[in-house]
Chain A
Amino acid sequence: QKEVEQNSGPLSVPEGAIASLNCTYSDRVSQSFFWYRQYSGKSPELIMSIYSNGDKEDGRFTAQLNKASQYVSLLIRDSQPSDSATYLCAGYTGGFKTIFGAGTRLFVKA
């Protein structure tokens, strides 16, 4: 099992819909969790961090963490074409390392 695993996609949603991005992680990853957005040809940009079980909302974004089931998700409400990007899930291991998943490509159709 990869330490941080994501479905590569592409995930395609219509404009205005909710996009749901999921990520599972191994026992090694147990501390903080992050979602980054990466546009094609650009660098990753931090959009959400979550440290404890439950939901965390920031504008149109909601991060959800379930440590018992070892998954973290990102919901994007009212999806816009400008949200089309690759979303990277990352987790901090507690041992000086943050491990990234390979990313999920999201397409929002106008």
Chain B
Amino acid sequence: EAQVTQNPRYLITVTGKKLTVTCSQNMNHEYMSWYRQDPGLGLRQIYYSMNVEVTDKGDVPEGYKVSRKEKRNFPLILESPSPNQTSLYFCASGPDRAYGYTFGSGTRLTVV
């Protein structure tokens, strides 16, 4: 089954404790992206990747890091999480940046 797999689904952590949210796709997609979704603000892009070792900032990259060492994986790293990073996070992939995306099931992160 074609899918984007994110883990974990839910995460509660404390301020400053480094965490990683994993994302993996099995569709051989070139393009992958991370979004956060907040009430009233919609989906905002954090980082995106055009291909292996090619990443760039989206609209809200502060406090986040990403890497793309393999085509299928695109982890999101929060080096020192803060409460304002409490949000619902989605990983997405697509065959090309101009096409529609397949989204992962989401990660609900709470930073206390």
Contact = CB atoms under 8 A, between A and B. Distances in A.
Interface of A: 8, 31-32, 34, 36, 42-46, 49, 88, 90, 92, 94, 96-103
A92 B97 contact: yes
Interface in B66-112: 90, 97-106
A45 to B, nearest CB: 7
Interface of B: 33, 35, 40-45, 48, 50, 56, 58-59, 90, 97-106
Contact of B48 (A32, A45, A97, A100): A97
A43 B106 contact: yes
Given A43-B90, A44-B90, A98 B104 contact: no
Contact of B97 (A42, A44, A90, A98): A98
- Closest A-B pairs by Cβ, 10 of them: A102-B42, A46-B100, A100-B43, A43-B103, A100-B42, A34-B100, A49-B100, A44-B103, A92-B98, A32-B98
A43 B45 CA distance: 15
Contacts of A43: 90, 103-106
A89 to B, nearest CB: 10
B97 A96 contact: yes
30 contacts: A8-B40, A32-B98, A36-B100, A42-B105, A43-B105, A44-B101, A44-B103, A45-B103, A46-B100, A46-B102, A49-B100, A88-B42, A88-B43, A90-B43, A92-B98, A96-B56, A96-B97, A97-B45, A97-B48, A97-B58, A98-B33, A98-B97, A99-B45, A100-B42, A100-B43, A100-B44, A101-B42, A102-B40, A102-B41, A102-B42
A7 B35 CA distance: 21
